[in-house]
Every structure is written in structure tokens, then in C-alpha cells.
Chains A and B, each alone.
Chain A
Amino acid sequence: MLEIKNVSKTYGNGSSSVGALRNISLQIDDGDFVAITGPSGSGKSTLLSVIGGLEKVSAGEVILDGRRIDNMSEKELVEIRRKKVAYVFQQYHLIPSLTALENVLLPLTFGGLDVGGKKRAATMLQEVGLEKRAKHKPGQLSGGEQQRVAIARALVNGCSLILADEPTGNVDQKTGVDILRLFRKANEDGHTIIMVTHSPEIARRGKRIVTLRDGEIVDQLDQDGCERPSGKEGFIP
């Protein structure tokens, strides 16, 4: 379970400081699929960075499975990244000199590669439908394929919490649907997913939609299914 308590984040200091997050509190249960949405500059990406320990908070607490991660040392955060939290970025962030399979293997390489690791990485690639592209480098893959490699990389370690920042932001709509389907499947497999998106269409695929504006939560909407028929647009700004 992830708890965010009264978190604030400001960039800069003094009179020039900018408040990116203002006193945000949020609780996310295991197995949830949360879409964080809002206009650009609303603080949604900052919130995601704070949750994953990529950035420090200015005030408040971030508690993951009973442990505060907002004030963890770099060393403890390395452990968290190896075992609990994985990221999927809008820019994919694959290492260009490594093949698709090697990119998927990367988290295992750093976390200590066990015997089954290589096989698990190959299985992961298969699950995202890229077993034939295992030997290709990111430059030889389309945007959608790169993002699928990134998702396989996020899942390979068995991290319970997947943080995705605009995962469909750089791909066309049809590919975006494919990618969302992968997240949904991961969610069904028990991963908790927190996804940032500016698109209401995409956000509606989540179980829960959190809307931010100017660094504050302005709306929270629980959806009792994953996919909803249209007609609920009124809830989404």
C-alpha cells in the first residue's frame, strides 16, 4: 500500500519559488490501477517522481508498505528500485547500445542475475509480443515496440508498483491501446499501476482517476470496472 501524506514540493527558493505540489494526500491500495491526469503544469509528473523516490519532497511523507521512502538514503532507494518500484517513461529510456533482450535483462544484471533470469527476460519479451525482435537495438524498433520493451523491463523484476509517465504520449492511438492492454494485463497479474496521462481517453482505462490542477487534487473518481462505456465525460475536465 502506498500512502501520500500532505506532500508539498516547491522548486527554487525565496520569492522565485514555484509550488509544483501543494499539500497532497492520497492512498493507493495494492492491485489498484490509478490514472493521474490534469493539464500540463498541474504537477502530475512531479507527483509520480515523488512517489518513486526520484525526487525529494519539500514537506510531507511518502510511505510504501509501511516504510517512509521520502527520506531514504540513496542506498535504500537502490533496494526499493530493485524490488518494489519500476518505471515506464514517455521517452521509453532504453539504452541505445543494448539489444531489446539486454535492455529487459538490465534490472536483473544490477540486482544479481540468477539462473532463471535470462529465461524470464525472454518470456517477458514474448508476453509483450516482441520475441522476434529480441536481438534488435532500440534504434531499429518503432516507438510502440520500444515502449513494449520498456514495459517488459519494468515487469521482469516482479516489482509490485509500476509507475508510468505518459506511456502512450509518443505513440499513435492504435499502439496506445495495445500498450494500455499490457498495463491492464499486468494489473490483472497483481501489479499496482500508477499512470500519468493528460488524455481523458486514456485515463478512463484506469480503475481510479485522480485529477490535478495547479498542484492540488481537484477530483477523485472511482470506476467500478476497468473499461466504461462512454457518456461519463462530464466527470473529466
Chain B
Amino acid sequence: MFTALGVAIGVAAVVAVLTVANAGEKRIYSEIDKYGPNMMITPAINDLDLKLGDLRLGSLAVGNNYIAQEKVSEVRQITDGAIREALGIQDQEDIATIAPKLYVDATVNGTSVMVVGFDPQQERAIKSWWDISRGRYPEQQDEALLGDRASSALSVGAGDRIGINGEGLTVVGVLQETGSQDDYQVFAPLGTVQKAFEKEGLISSIDIRALCSACPVESIADSINKSIPGVRAVAVQQIAESEMNLVMKVNRFMLVLAAITLVVGAFAVVSTMMSSVHERTKDIGIMKAVGASRGQIVRMFVYEAVAVGFLGGILGYVSGTLLSYSLGPLIFDGLAMSYAPQYLLPALGLAIAVAIVASVYPAFRASQVRVAESLRAL
């Protein structure tokens, strides 16, 4: 029983560390998500050089300045599909954050500003740094959000009404200053802006946030470029590269952590099993004296190791999981732990295998010792 406890402690350590690390890994990924979009999709525009002999006549932009809105769902299919495939995910929920936008120059209250038609939910998810300084985030089709500078330039605050191209909107909130172009813009729901400027079904660009350790953003961008004509998908290099770097480091760290805990846990199991066998060197001598063969003694210790490993493995798995539930939130403040059933079988297997190796070898050695010697070793 005491031996099973020793095995349990070894297994508990491994399970606790791995469960905490597993949850921590997810937390780190969600932190990375705050980096903002890591891929942008713009209309595919080709500049053709017009030449007449050696004479340059300037360039001609060929193609559309807009993307058809129905391409958003195609983009989602490709992006989510790539992530699902790479991570082996089955469920059909949306994975990537995909925020379409329509930019229009407009005059509001006699001042020229950039009006942005956006998808409030997706935009909020992608711009995790957005804070509302006054008012609230827009929810209805006739509600608008103003950048900090736009609000002062137009002398409009939360609660005021504005008109864009004849469409009446209520300003429900003002963003805190971000230091980006967002400060100068007026945000209104995409459908409303499309209607006001008669650009139904059109968008200017799509910001995408897609992350998985196994599928680089570049490859997702490549497959979008190959399968959807008329758009150009580009990975935002400064973000994509640093986050891939981070993901790789986290992965490597996890591997090292797992390896170290495995070695330490296995060592705990080995030492308890070995000392338990050593304690019974005398018993082995007695059993030999009353007619036990070497095979019988070794077999007995194998059965015992399986039982102790099984008991200790289950005990260790349960206590390790409990331990991780209490330790995890302390390490990654407030992190919700998730029960990790995938560790149950490996934990049991590890405990039993290590227990067998660690007890059978000393039992075999002890069974070779002559009876007189093992009985004298009191």
C-alpha cells in the first residue's frame, strides 16, 4: 500500500505538470491572439505598364477596387478548413476571426472623414485593445462608433445623431485613443454603410486572425490566392513571424517539460519499487527455503508490480488532476483548468511498466542470492 503511494506520487507529479502545461499552452495562444490580424485580404489589382515603343504612357490599374462580400464565406471555409485539417478538429464552429470592412470617404457635419462599414462582433474580437471611453459598443444597425479624433473633429459625442450620405445614425460610443488610423474614423455596421453609399454586396478588405501552430499563415494565404480569384491574401509578416516563433518556443518548452517530469516521475516509481523489493530480500530467502523457484519469485513480483502500478497509476492520475486544478489558477492567474483524459492511459501504462522494470530486476537479483545469505541479511 505504501509502495502504491510512492508510485502515485510519481504519477501525480507528471499528470499535474502536464495538465497545467496543457492548459497554460492554450492560455498562451489566446494571449497571442491579442496581436491583431495576421493576414489581410485586398482586391487583386494589377498595374499594367502602358508602353509605346520607348515611350511610357503611364500605368493602368486593371481590376476591381472592391471584393464581393460572398467571398467572405469562401475565405472562412479555406481558413477554418486548413486549421481543422492541421489540428485534427472535427466540430464545425467558426475558428478564425474574419473581419470584412468597407472604406468610404464621406462628409459628415461638413467635415470630410473616413467612414468604415464593419462587422461589430468580428472587429471587436480582432481588435482586443479597443476600449470605449464614453458610451458603449454599437449593437444595432443604426448605431455608430467614433474614433477619438473623429469625435472631437466633428464635435459629436455619445448620444448625438449624425447623418452619412443621408442615412441617420446614433453615435453610441467613442473609442479611447489608439494611436492608429482608427482614431480618425467613423465606424458603422457594414450593411448600413453599404446601403448609404449604394455599395451593396461590396467590401474593401478583410482582416483575418488565424492561428495554429501546425499551419503557418503563409500557407493559408497561398491557398486563398490559388482558389479565390480577384483577391490578394497577404500574411502580415511582422506579426506572423513573431507569433510563429513564440508558438515554436512554447512547443519546445512543453516537450522539455514533459521529458523532465517523465524522468523524475519514473525515478520516483523506480526508487519506491526497488526499496520495497529490497526490504523483502529476507522474505525472498524464506520463500526459497520453503521451495520457491526463481521463476515463481519473479512472477510474484511481476503480479505485484502490475497491481501496485495500476493502483498507484489511478491514484496518481486522480490526485495529479486535482493538484493541477488547484495549482493551475495560481500560476496562470484565474486560468480554468480542463480535465485531460488523454493522460489517463499513458499514466497507467507508465506506472505499470516502470513498476515492473523497477521491481522485477531487483527481485531477480535477490532470487539469485543464496538462501543462507539472504536470511543472514537481517
**Shortest Cβ distance from residue B230 to the other chain A in the assembled complex, whole angstroms:** 80
Contact present for A153 and B290 (CB under 8 Å) = yes
B282 at the interface (CB under 8 A from A): yes
**Shortest Cβ distance from residue A189 to the other chain B in the assembled complex, whole angstroms:** 19
Instruction: Choose one: A49, A95, A96; the contact of B372 (CB below 8 Å).
Output: A49
Contact present for B287 and A106 (CB under 8 Å) = yes
Contact residues in B for A95 (Cβ distance below 8 Å): 283, 286-287
Contact residues in B for A93 (Cβ distance below 8 Å): 282, 285-286, 289, 375
Contact residues in B for A157 (Cβ distance below 8 Å): 290-291
A-B contact count (CB 8 A): 50
Closest to B297 in A: A110
Tell me the bound Cα distance from A78 to B287 in angstroms: 10
Closest to B378 in A: A91
Instruction: Choose one: B293, B294, B371; the contact of A54 (CB below 8 Å).
Output: B371
For chain A, the count of residues having a C-beta within 8 Å of the partner chain is: 23
Please encode chain B, from 349 to 378, with 1 for each CB lying within 8 Å of some chain A CB and 0 for all others: 000000000000000000000111001001
Tell me the bound Cα distance from A82 to B370 in angstroms: 16
A111 at the interface (CB under 8 A from B): yes
B296 at the interface (CB under 8 A from A): yes
Contact present for B291 and A82 (CB under 8 Å) = yes
**Shortest Cβ distance from residue B367 to the other chain A in the assembled complex, whole angstroms:** 9
Contact present for A74 and B294 (CB under 8 Å) = yes
Contact present for B282 and A75 (CB under 8 Å) = no
Tell me the bound Cα distance from A87 to B290 in angstroms: 8
Contact present for B292 and A110 (CB under 8 Å) = yes
Contact present for A107 and B372 (CB under 8 Å) = no
Tell me the bound Cα distance from A54 to B373 in angstroms: 9
Contact present for B372 and A55 (CB under 8 Å) = yes
A34 at the interface (CB under 8 A from B): no
Tell me the bound Cα distance from A55 to B288 in angstroms: 13
Most-contacted residue by chain B among A86, A106, A157 (CB, 10 A): A106
Most-contacted residue by chain A among B285, B289, B378 (CB, 10 A): B289
A81 at the interface (CB under 8 A from B): yes
Contact residues in A for B371 (Cβ distance below 8 Å): 54
Please encode chain B, from 287 to 330, with 1 for each CB lying within 8 Å of some chain A CB and 0 for all others: 11111111010000000000000000000000000000000000
A55-B370, A95-B283 as given contacts; A81 in contact with B375, CB under 8 Å: no
Contact present for A110 and B375 (CB under 8 Å) = no
Closest to B293 in A: A78
Contact present for B282 and A110 (CB under 8 Å) = no
Instruction: Choose one: A54, A91, A110; the contact of B291 (CB below 8 Å).
Output: A110
A91-B378, A93-B282, A95-B283 as given contacts; A86 in contact with B290, CB under 8 Å: yes
Contact residues in A for B283 (Cβ distance below 8 Å): 95-97
Instruction: Choose one: A49, A96, A110; the contact of B287 (CB below 8 Å).
Output: A110
Contact present for A81 and B370 (CB under 8 Å) = no
Contact present for A54 and B372 (CB under 8 Å) = yes
Contact present for B286 and A78 (CB under 8 Å) = no
Closest to B285 in A: A93
Please encode chain A, from 79 to 92, with 1 for each CB lying within 8 Å of some chain B CB and 0 for all others: 00110001101010
A161 at the interface (CB under 8 A from B): no
A193 at the interface (CB under 8 A from B): no
A94 at the interface (CB under 8 A from B): yes
**Shortest Cβ distance from residue B325 to the other chain A in the assembled complex, whole angstroms:** 36
Contact residues in A for B285 (Cβ distance below 8 Å): 93
List residues of chain B with CB under 8 Å of any chain A CB: 282-283, 285-294, 296, 370-372, 375, 378
Give the 5 A-B CB pairs with smallest separation, nearest first: A82-B291, A54-B372, A107-B290, A81-B291, A110-B292
List residues of chain A with CB under 8 Å of any chain B CB: 49, 54-55, 74-75, 78, 81-82, 86-87, 89, 91, 93-97, 106-107, 110-111, 153, 157
18 cross-chain CB contacts under 8 A: A54-B289, A54-B370, A55-B372, A78-B292, A81-B288, A81-B289, A91-B378, A93-B286, A94-B286, A95-B286, A106-B286, A106-B287, A107-B290, A110-B290, A110-B293, A111-B291, A153-B290, A157-B291
What 5 new A-B contacts, CB under 8 Å, besides A54-B289, A95-B283, A106-B287? Answer: A54-B371, A93-B289, A95-B287, A96-B283, A107-B291
